[in-house]
Amino acid sequence: MVDPIILGLMERAVPPEYVFSDRDAVYHGILFNGEVPYALKYYEFQKGNPPEPVDAKYRIGLQEHLDNEIMNKRINPQSGLGYLIVSDKYLNVNFFGDINVVTPNLYAFDEENSIWEEANVKEKGAYCVWEFKIGMHEIDQWVSFLKSKRTADDMQKFWASFTSGALYP
């Protein structure tokens, strides 16, 4: 039997009026810069019923922002490989580093200045549950690649794999 204190924590964590709503993952291809270099699988997620696209203002200057963050050493691209997720006012950039480690870089959109600003992971959290679901897919694909013979076909398979649609149907 679970301790009543633990059950009380759960009751306080989720207000009675809360209703979970799903998000749809939308894959936009590979965001690539051969000069820096990096390659990131680019996702957005949509919410609502029917799902509404992410506001276009979050896309404007996205690659320039990433390039600047990397060039100014505010993001360490490590392997140069990973994935990013644009969601409602957040940008989550994840690089595979040290082979088995995922390093998140979180940004919040400053509406007043129309720019992405670094967000404190300790305050905002590294992921929401929907971002984490996309991350789980990408990590599973990365591990499959690591376990493979890592041939050119295995590399193509990694980049061809993505998730889309309802994340928690």
E runs forming strands in 34-100: 38-47, 81-87, 90-97
The rounded distance, in Å, linking the Cα atoms of 124 and 86 is 15
- Under the banding of pLDDT at 50, 70 and 90, the label for residue 148 is very high
Residue 25 structure tokens:
């993952």
Q: Quick check: bond before 37 cis, omega within 30?
A: yes
- Under the banding of pLDDT at 50, 70 and 90, the label for residue 51 is confident
What per-residue confidence (pLDDT) applies to 98? 84
What per-residue confidence (pLDDT) applies to 146? 96
For the residues 143-158, what does the mean pLDDT come to? 98
pTM for the whole structure = 0.92
What per-residue confidence (pLDDT) applies to 50? 81
Rg (CA), the chain: 18
What does the pLDDT look like over 54-96, one tens digit per residue?
899 999 899 999 999 999 999 999 999 999 999 888 999 999 9
Residue 56 structure tokens:
């276009």
- Under the banding of pLDDT at 50, 70 and 90, the label for residue 13 is very high
For the residues 84-112, what does the mean pLDDT come to? 93
Per-residue pLDDT at 130 exceeds 90: yes
- Under the banding of pLDDT at 50, 70 and 90, the label for residue 137 is very high
Per-residue pLDDT at 52 exceeds 90: no
- Under the banding of pLDDT at 50, 70 and 90, the label for residue 49 is confident
Q: 54, exposed or middle or buried, with CB in 10 Å at 0-12, 13-18, 19+?
A: buried
